[in-house]
Amino acid sequence: MTALAGEWIGSALPSAGAIAGAVLGAALSGAVFALKISAFLVPALVLYDLLAPLPVFARLGRRLGPWLSRLGMSPPCAVPLAAGLFLGIAYGAGFIIPIAEGKRIGPEELLGLGLFLCTCHAIIEDTLLFALVGARSPAEVAWRMATLAGLRLLLALTVLVGRQVLLRGRKPSPALE
């Protein structure tokens, strides 16, 4: 087995120098890949933290209250929902895990929240990462990011509205103003 593997490597990589060169080359292209993505990711995250506390967004959040109830969620769901949506489940865990302690969110709502967040979370970071792979221009990045984020958001809303329809058997009002 080892001998076979050795022969195998031997046939593919003739010398130690070639191995070192290949490893170095792969490491370098990996580093370049990481830095290229970071060049977009870091400014995007700074911009998010800079803009997120603006009062406009708080007002927007209050305006979204009625829509939350239409999706089967009560106001206490807003914080974990926003944290998961923008920060992600892992980064937002600090906001998501405490909801179990207060018991202010019932099991039905918790499932709804879970369904939404599983479908659509970390909408900035995750979508940006995938949008950047192999993209040739900033416009392509923006377009792919909008596609990825938009589709996941749409899917999450569809799932929750669909669930409400199934639960209540009443007519949905999916027309988003």
Which residues make up the interface to other proteins (CB under 8 A)?
Answer: 8-9, 12-13, 22-23, 25-27, 29-31, 33-35, 37-38, 41-50, 52-53, 80, 89-91, 93-97, 99-100, 107, 110-111, 113-115, 117-119, 122, 125-127, 129-135, 140, 144, 147-148, 151-152, 155
Query: Judged by CB, which is closer to other proteins: 38, or 173?
Result: 38
Give the long-range contacts of residues 74-83, CB within 8 A, separation 24 or more.
74/104, 74/105, 74/109, 76/102, 76/104, 76/105, 77/105, 77/109, 77/112, 77/113, 80/113, 80/117, 81/113, 81/116, 81/117
Query: Judged by CB, which is closer to other proteins: 64, or 141?
Result: 141
Q: DSSP letters along 28-41, please?
A: HHHHHHHHHHHHHH
Residue 77 CB, nearest distance to other proteins (Å)? 12
Residue 78 CB, nearest distance to other proteins (Å)? 15
Residue 177 CB, nearest distance to other proteins (Å)? 26
Tell which phi-psi region holds residue 151, choosing left (phi > 0), alpha (psi between -120 and 50) or beta: alpha
Residue 3 CB, nearest distance to other proteins (Å)? 15
